[in-house]
Amino acid sequence: MSRKKDTYYDAYNFRIAQLVENGNKVLDIGCATGRLLEYLQNEKSCEVKGIEVDCAMAKEAQERCKDVACLDIESCNSLPFEKNYFDVVIFADCLEHLKRPDLVLKTIIPYLKKSGILLVSLPNIAFLSVRLGLLFGNFNYTQYGLLDKTHLRFFTLKSAKNLIEGNGFKIIKIEGYNQVRARFFFVRPLGKIFKSLFATDFIIKAALNNA
């Protein structure tokens, strides 16, 4: 595995981390090498558990958080956790890699407390650079980023909302997020104001629809 790939997966979404409250019981779906779990455990005193489909990354995550399961959530009818247990379930840059993210969202509902929240980060396929590429007839998959070749689903602001609201949740808030290089600093405030065009990702906080 190249150093670039190690660095790419060996990180976490800072904004997602900010939205988790101290002491929460957290389930991170697609936890990669466990950096988010480590941060929440050490800095916010959270009880953390994770799921990761890549067993090599799951093994690395277990060095940071002992309770990480290597399994394919799309193949599970149930999860190895207590029901009505978690304060927070996280999908940070995960749902776009799944064949049926809608079914997976329904799968995790029984494990979330009635007062619990869902935190999701989804890449924005309608970001300015992708729109310009399409204008000139280009839609080229890349190793990483918005056109990551492992993405199976693509989301606009509208379809991201539909995914969450159509599968058992109500959105509390949705915001634009840009984790970009320093020289592109001007994109960050634009992404907060004009989410659909200038945000590379959408951060969604949602509650159970029947809560």
Q: What digits encode the pLDDT tens for the residues 107-153?
A: 999 999 999 999 999 999 999 999 999 999 999 999 988 999 999 99
pTM for the full predicted model? 0.91
Question: pLDDT per residue over 45-83, tens digit each?
Answer: 999 999 999 999 999 999 999 999 999 999 988 899 999
What is the rounded CA–CA span in Å between residue 91 and residue 138? Answer: 29
Q: Kindly list the domain boundaries of the chain, sorted by start residue.
A: 3-208
The values of phi and psi at residue 174, to 5°, are: -140, 130
Q: Which amino acid is at 173?
A: K
Alpha carbon 118 to chain centroid, angstroms: 10
**Of 77-91, 111-125, 169-183, minimum mean pLDDT range:** 169-183
| Percent of the chain that is helix, strand, coil (3-state, to 5) | 35, 25, 35
pLDDT at 8: 58
Q: How confident is the model at residue 5 (pLDDT cuts 50, 70, 90)?
A: very low
CATH no. of 3-208? 3.40.50.150
